[in-house]
């Protein structure tokens, strides 16, 4: 079977690439080993698909080449994906900070993409196991449905996150087979695990959430921090995880936007214990455990001004050194991937291998939390679809 374009991966980037190329009159076949298209789209945004962010821009992406994503993002904007949803009558709303979600279900977005593929003539073959890939006059791909050939081959295979949905390193292996460099992948947007000593102190606080500012790798993120049995999660933590290196300290401001020193000095005559006073500003169980961790047990009135200022400093600069992260099984995305130096930022084509294109999460472009990763899938898929 021969087509103009073979796309490996029926996810967000692969389907966008397929419908874009199909509109140009190219014959397109999308192959996926799973039985369901758009598996990660289905689970995105808690089942409501955080499909883009109104603030899309290169500053919200991580890559060894932070400028690489600029061209694709400029040519496929939030307005473009919004227009597609509106054309299909899919309702959406802004949840916070420019994050756009479907009003009903992520499944609507998958149906939209499949319908657009059908309209453009792009075919989708699911439940198709992929084997050896070769390149001669054409790309040749051995599959459980026979040998497929095409002028262009698009790797839209995703990263290593969500292994329960079938994620694998297949795309990275094929890239290396063709001589492309791969930035070592690691989990991103992922919860942290406590070191043993912190787990003993805070592991029983599972379910407690507090508003905090988390600092790591020169970045800071404010939002909910959620305690789990094994560590910490929540939006601010997930954001910080993309900038964290093994062994690095997380710094957490427990009272962002407040003057902890002023609060304590104002209450310096109080006979209340510190943990009781802090319970007015933080979850009570956390306040008790935090005060115990620093062995602060005496009433506020028995603390010197110097001691109160040091306690205030600790509240604004609580440090924890995670044991690690929960890994790819809990990660929303993969950091790293096919080196962008190997690709054209305009077309997503491999410089060394004419006809080979790489898009979506398999590439070393990773967005922050909030719809940026799905938008990169749309934008990179669209870019490749214009040229493959």
Across the chain, how many H-helices and E-strands are there? 13, 21
CA dist., res. 135 & res. 153, Å (int):
10
Q: How many residues does the chain have?
A: 388
Look at residues 206, 200, 246 and name the one whose alpha carbon lies nearest to residue 225.
206
Q: Across the strands, what pairs with 2?
A: 149
Every domain of the chain with CATH number 3.50.50.60 lies at 2-186+335-385
Note the pTM of the prediction, 2 decimals: 0.95
Look at residues 364, 359, 328 and name the one whose alpha carbon lies nearest to residue 62.
364
> What CATH superfamily is the domain 192-325?
Translation factors (2.40.30.10)
How much is the pLDDT for 297?
85
How much is the pLDDT for 130?
95
Q: Would you say 108 and 84 are in contact if contact means Cβ atoms under 8 Å apart?
A: no
Domain 2-186+335-385 has CATH 3.50.50.60: yes
How much is the pLDDT for 387?
98
Per-residue pLDDT tens digits for 99-129? 999 999 999 999 999 999 999 999 999 999 9
- What average pLDDT values come out for the chain (388 residues) when binned by 10 residues? 97 98 98 95 92 98 97 98 98 94 97 98 97 96 97 97 89 98 97 95 94 96 96 97 96 97 92 93 95 90 92 96 96 97 98 98 97 98 98
How much is the pLDDT for 164?
85
How much is the pLDDT for 165?
84
Q: Would you say 239 and 232 are in contact if contact means Cβ atoms under 8 Å apart?
A: no
Q: Across the strands, what pairs with 140?
A: 134, 149
SS3 123: strand
How much is the pLDDT for 96?
87
CA dist., res. 139 & res. 5, Å (int):
9
Every domain of the chain with CATH number 2.40.30.10 lies at 192-325
Q: Would you say 29 and 5 are in contact if contact means Cβ atoms under 8 Å apart?
A: yes
Look at residues 295, 13, 330, 270 and name the one whose alpha carbon lies nearest to residue 154.
13
């Amino acid at each position: 079977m021969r087509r103009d374009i073979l796309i490996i991966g029926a996810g967000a980037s692969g389907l966008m690439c397929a419908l874009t190329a199909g509109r140009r009159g190219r014959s397109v076949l999308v192959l996926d080993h799973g039985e369901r298209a758009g598996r990660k789209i289905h689970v995105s945004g808690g089942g409501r698909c955080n499909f883009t962010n109104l603030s899309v821009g290169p500053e919200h992406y991580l890559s060894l080449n932070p400028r690489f994503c600029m061209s694709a993002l400029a040519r496929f904007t939030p307005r473009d994906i919004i227009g597609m949803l509106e054309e299909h009558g899919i309702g959406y709303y802004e949840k916070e900070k420019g994050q756009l979600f479907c009003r009903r279900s992520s499944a609507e977005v998958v149906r939209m993409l499949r319908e657009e593929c059908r309209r453009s003539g792009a075919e989708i073959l699911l439940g198709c196991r992929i084997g050896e890939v070769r390149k001669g006059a054409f790309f040749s791909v051995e599959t459980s449905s026979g040998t497929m050939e095409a002028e262009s081959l698009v790797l839209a295979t995703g990263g290593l996150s969500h292994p329960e949905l079938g994620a694998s390193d297949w795309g990275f292996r094929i890239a290396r087979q063709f001589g492309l460099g791969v930035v070592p992948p690691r989990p991103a947007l992922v919860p942290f695990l406590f070191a043993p000593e912190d787990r003993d102190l805070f592991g029983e606080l599972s379910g407690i959430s507090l508003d905090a500012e988390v600092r790591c790798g020169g970045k800071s993120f404010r939002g909910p921090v959620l305690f789990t049995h094994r560590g910490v999660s929540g939006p601010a933590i997930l954001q910080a995880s993309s900038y964290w290196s093994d062994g690095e300290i997380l710094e957490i401001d427990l009272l962002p936007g407040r003057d902890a020193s002023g609060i304590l000095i104002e209450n310096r005559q109080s006979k209340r214990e510190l943990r009781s006073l802090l319970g007015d500003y933080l979850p009570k169980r956390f306040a008790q455990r935090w005060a115990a961790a620093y062995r602060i047990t005496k009433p506020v009135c028995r603390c010197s001004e110097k001691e109160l200022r040091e306690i205030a400093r600790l509240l604004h600069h609580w440090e924890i050194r995670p044991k690690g992260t929960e890994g790819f099984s809990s990660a929303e995305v993969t950091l790293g991937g096919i080196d962008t130096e190997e690709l054209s930022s305009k077309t997503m084509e491999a410089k060394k291998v004419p006809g080979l294109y790489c898009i979506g999460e398999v590439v070393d472009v990773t967005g922050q939390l909030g719809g940026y990763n799905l938008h990169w899938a749309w934008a990179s898929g669209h870019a490749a679809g214009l040229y493959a």
